[in-house]
Structure 1
């Protein structure tokens, strides 16, 4: 089975974009809970840090991380296709 690398990359970008927006909304609604969760995920004490959430930051993060996820998805599909070649 061959993956379409472009479609897989776009699907990765869209999926990550949706997750980014969900995470941003959760930070906006429950900042202390999300800060605590971040500390657990990164194995550190983030209680002294604070969120600086702005609409510009959310938008730039959405674009940047979605593009990065799209490139990673495209690369993953290409590597998979090369490994899965029929002899």
Structure 2
């Protein structure tokens, strides 16, 4: 079975764009709880830090994360196809 690397790249990009948007909306609506969740995820104390969410930052993050995720999806598809068709066990 082969993976379509282009379709995988598009899927990764779309999912990442949706997750980035949801995360940004949550940060805008609930900055305190989202900072608390981030502290737990990073096992750190971020007292003194605050969110800086601007439209420019949102769009730069959206584009850059989407592009990198799509590239990762394509690379995963390419690598899978490369190694699945070889005799590497």
Q: How does 1:56-71 map to 2 (within 5 A)?
A: 56-71=56-71
List structure 1 runs of 4+ shifted beyond 3 angstroms: none
**Partners in 2 of 1:73 and 1:12 — Cα distance?**
6
Structure-2-length-normalised TM-score: 0.93
Q: Deviations over 1:25-64 (max 9, x none)?
A: 0000000100011111111111320000001100110000
Q: How many residues align?
A: 87
Counterpart for residue 33 of structure 1: 33
1:6 corresponds in structure 2 to: 6
What is the CA–CA distance in structure 2 between the aligned matches of 1:80 and 1:47, rounded to whole Å?
43
SS class of match (2:27): helix
Contact 1:35 1:47 in 2 (8 A): no
2-structure distance, mates of 1:60, 1:86: 39
Say which SS state the counterpart of residue 47 (structure 2) adopts: coil
| Structure 1 vs Structure 2 CA RMSD | 1.0
Equivalent residue, structure 1, for 2:46: 46
- Distance of 1:72 and 1:24 partners within structure 2: 22
TM-score, normalised relative to structure 1:
0.95
